[in-house]
Amino acid sequence: MALHTTKNDISENRRQAVVDLLAARLSDALDLTAQTKQAHWNVKGPSFIALHQLFDTIYQASAANVDEIAERLVALGGQAKGTVQQTVKQTTLPAYPLDIITGEDHCEALSTSMAAFGKQVRAAIDAASTLGDQDTADLFTVMSRELDKNLWMVEAHLQAKR
């Protein structure tokens, strides 16, 4: 799809490459947001309230990341494609198991997806920098720090037994 007209001074070729990068991460961010809500709704066990609240906090951060990615993509002339059907086709995250209930199982599944998304976000920082779009690289850098912090909070529930 052709880019929308904009007076942004980044060349069209570079904008297209960045839009493609953002679109790929948008699908991952949407998937992570849905996975986080899945964990929030279905967690059971002695740490229920702590995990229920933690997963909701992570969901809110994930939803904000989705919005940042989509708005940057559109600002550069792209078309944000955030439907469930598009997300399913484009996500690189592992599928979230739908039959788990324990806090430990949700922490394991969610931390796996968070780590996968974090890896993709760090690669996006490098790609955006290589394309000369420091604004997009900065967007992903802020996201990366937040992801790492939230991953630490989820993994802390798994590390207590080690």
**CATH number, domain at 145?**
1.20.1260.10
Rounded Cα distance, 148 and 117, in Å: 10
Q: Which of 114, 124, 108, 120 is nearest to 147 (CA)?
A: 114
Question: Which domain does 101 fall in, by range?
Answer: 12-159
Question: Whole-angstrom distance between the N-terminal and C-terminal Cα of the chain?
Answer: 50
Give residue-wise pLDDT tens across range 13-51: 999 999 999 999 999 999 999 999 999 999 999 999 999
Is 76 a domain residue? yes
Q: What is the mean pLDDT of the chain?
A: 96
Is the pLDDT confidence value at 147 over 80?
A: yes
Q: What's the pLDDT score for residue 2?
A: 87
- Give percent of the chain above pLDDT 70: 98
Is 121 a domain residue? yes
Cα-based distances in Å from 25 to 5, 102, 128: 23, 29, 12
Rounded Cα distance, 19 and 154, in Å: 31
Is the pLDDT confidence value at 162 over 60?
A: no
Is 149 a domain residue? yes
Which residue type, as a one-letter code, is found at position 93? L
Tokens (6 digits) for 13? 């070729």
Rounded Cα distance, 115 and 123, in Å: 12
Taking every pair of Cα atoms in the chain, the longest distance, rounded to a whole number of angstroms, is 55
Q: What's the pLDDT score for residue 99?
A: 97
**Structurally, how many domains does the chain consist of?**
1
Is 71 a domain residue? yes
**Residue 161 pLDDT class (50, 70, 90 cuts):** low
Give residue-wise pLDDT tens across range 58-73: 999 999 999 999 999 9
User: Are 71 and 16 within 8 A, CB to CB?
Assistant: no
Is 151 a domain residue? yes
Is 139 a domain residue? yes
Is 2 a domain residue? no
Is 4 a domain residue? no
| Helix, coil or strand: residue 102 | strand
Is the pLDDT confidence value at 83 over 70?
A: yes
Give residue-wise pLDDT tens across range 112-133: 999 999 999 999 999 999 999 9
Mean pLDDT of 139-161: 95
Q: Is 146 exposed, middle or buried (0-12, 13-18, 19+ CB in 10 A)?
A: middle
pTM: 0.95
